[in-house]
Homo-oligomer: A and B are copies of this chain.
Amino acid sequence: MREVDGQVQAWAFLDADHALAQARAADEFRLSGRPVGPLHGVPIGIKDIIDTADMPTENGSALHAGRTPSRDATVVAWLRAAGAVILGKTVTTELATYAPGKTRNPHNAEHTPGGSSSGSAAAVAAGMVPLAVGSQTNGSTIRPASFCGVYGFKPTHGSIPRHRMLALSRTLDHVGLFARSIEDLALLAEQLVGWDERDPDTRPRARVPFAAVAAEEPPLPPVFAFVKTPHWEHAEAETREAFAELVEHLGDRVEELELFPSATEAWAWHRTIMEAEMAASLEREWRTGRDRLSESLRAQLERGRAVRAVDYQHALARIRPVHESFQELFEQRYDTILTPAAPGTAPKGLTSTGDPGFCTLWTLCGMPAVSLPLMHGASGLPLGVQLVGPRDGDARLLRTARWLVARVAGDPDARA
């Protein structure tokens, strides 16, 4: 593991002996004949903004160096209860924002892995773990999944509890998942979607049989809405070509859909909300250690501190009507939105984690999104296809995703 990681640098904390001890305990438990959980013995990487009682959680910030929380985050506790082995903590950007960590793209070490869940995406891509957990406040799961060529899944806002996870923005923070197949994403989601009253955005609901639904054949072939969004102007040539081919390949299963005008302002609302909520959430860091924050984060917090409450409320109030317009589209005509996961393949260089703009609208609306590693750029680097579904339509979104993966796999010409 250490040798594999030498190049990739996916881990913020990895104690091989501790992991081995957990794995041995899992083996002994299984041998005892007692019933085991659905993730029994499966090693998982946890983004280093999610608290673990037995490992440090440093949030990618010098300000939190040496931080050792005494309790597990809800997602960690639920993973342990499902039998998983918490292998280690994966690298995050600074406080899950933009300043990169040490991780490199497993496909080409000169390129960014994306962020902010850099280590989670890279660890799965490099085969170090089959599953990893990250987060998304703008494009922090879907973008690194696309850049690293793995499956990434950001379930509906409020479906996975965020208790004891670094909070940036209650409105926008989501837990994100990484795996090497749709089936594995479904298995992981099934353990983590649920109610925790300590996350006030989660709700008591009937259990969703993610794995069973994702494995079903759709009753009818799905209909996709290809949505370019105003961010399409940032899409690279190879992304445009790849999507043109994919759309052609899908034939009458896809229609291009013009975004309604109100949604085009979503990027500005997202920014207002994210920066205002970050400024409140990171008040302590600002007050006690702003000189040890990156310049870009300092600038973001300064902007956030200047946001007026009326503008913040105005942005918040726009989420519901925009979301309802999408809801109507889903009810009337489309199963799923088809859109790029990122403007192109992972950019060269390690000073930036790339552009989250193709994720912003769906994060704002809290809609579930998945990135599928179905394409490649000319360089050979992976390029993700993003599918977006209606809120709480997570399991069906995975079912549709599986249909698309099979369709593309069945016709190699459809790959870019």
Contacts and interface: CB of A to CB of B under 8 A. Distances in A.
A223 interface: no
Contacts of A320: 200
A245 to B, nearest CB: 42
The copy count of this chain in the complex is 2
A279 interface: yes
Contacts of A277: 309, 313
Interface string A280-307: 1001000000000000000000001111
A313 B315 CA distance: 14
Nearest to A313: B280
Nearest to A286: B310
Contacts of A307: 308-310
Contact of A308 (B200, B309, B314): B309
Contacts of A372: none
A327 B277 CA distance: 27
Contacts of A224: none
Interface in A171-185: none
A241 interface: no
B306 A276 contact: no
Q: How large is the interface on A (under 10, 10 to 19, 20 to 34, 35 or more residues)?
A: 10 to 19
A326 interface: no
A147 interface: no
A320 B317 CA distance: 22
Contacts of A309: 276-277, 279-280, 304, 307-309, 311-312
A300 to B, nearest CB: 13
Interface in A332-378: none
A259 B304 CA distance: 34
Contacts of A283: 310, 314
Contacts of A279: 309-310
A340 to B, nearest CB: 31
A306 B277 CA distance: 17
Interface string A238-272: 00000000000000000000000000000000000
A320 B199 CA distance: 12
Contacts of A200: 320
Contacts of A317: 280
A306 B310 CA distance: 8
A307 B314 CA distance: 14
Given A277-B309, A309-B311, 13 more contacts: A276-B310, A279-B310, A280-B309, A280-B310, A280-B313, A283-B314, A304-B309, A305-B310, A307-B309, A307-B310, A308-B308, A308-B309, A309-B309
Q: Which A-B residue pairs are the 6 nearest by beta carbons?
A: A276-B309, A309-B312, A280-B313, A307-B309, A280-B310, A279-B310
10 contacts: A200-B320, A276-B309, A276-B310, A279-B309, A279-B310, A280-B309, A280-B313, A304-B310, A305-B310, A307-B310
